[in-house]
Amino acid sequence: MTETELHALKYPIGEFTPKENYTPDDIKWYINTIELFPAKIKQAVSGLNDEQLDTAYREGGWTIRQVVHHTADSHINSYTRFKLALTEDNPTIRPYEEADWAELPEAKSGSIELSLPLLEALHRRWVAMLKGLKQGDTERKLYHPGSKQQMTVASLMHLYAWHSDHHLAHIVNLKKTKGW
C-alpha cells in the first residue's frame, strides 16, 4: 500500500483544517452535524455481526467496534471541554491517551450497545447546550496542551463535526469495500 493510499484510509474526508473565521452558517452546520451523528453511526453499524464489528478499517487501525467506543469516549471529553470553555477563562484542557483507551477491554470487546445509547443521550444534551449559546460564546477560548493550540468554541465545534464525519466515513467506507 502506498503512502497516499494509507493516508486516504486514515483521513477519508481529509485532515482537519481549522478556519480563520466562522460564520453563523458554519456554526449551524456544525451543530447539525453533531446532532445527526448518533443516528448516522447507529445506522452505519446496524446489522453488523461481531466478526464485522471486529474488522479494522485499515491495517493497524481500529476495528469498527473500537471506533464506536472511541467516538463515545472522545465526545464525552469534548462535551466537558465545551463546558470548561464556556464557564472558565481560557482553561487548559486535559488531553487523554485515546489509543490506550481504545485498547481497554470494554472498547476492544464490549458491545456497541454500551456506546450507542450513550452517544444519543450525550449528543442531545450537547446540542441543547450548543443551540443555547449566546452571542460571543463561540469566540471563548481554551488551550489544548496536546496540540499546543489556542482554540475557540467555534473551532472546537468544527473539530468535532469533522471528527464525527471522519469516523463515520471509516465505517461506511469499510462496509463499501467489503460489500457489507
Question: What residue type is 161 in one-letter code?
Answer: A
Instruction: Return the CA Rg of the chain.
Output: 16
E runs forming strands in 108-174: 141-144, 149-152
Give residue 138's pLDDT band: very low, low, confident or very high (50, 70, 90): very high
- Tens-place pLDDT, residues 82-104: 999 999 999 999 999 999 999 99
> 23-178: which CATH topology?
Four Helix Bundle (Hemerythrin (Met), subunit A) (1.20.120)
> What are the cell numbers at 55?
474488522
Query: Could you tell me the pTM of the whole model?
Result: 0.96
Tens-place pLDDT, residues 24-50: 999 999 999 999 999 999 999 999 999
Domain boundaries, the chain: 23-178
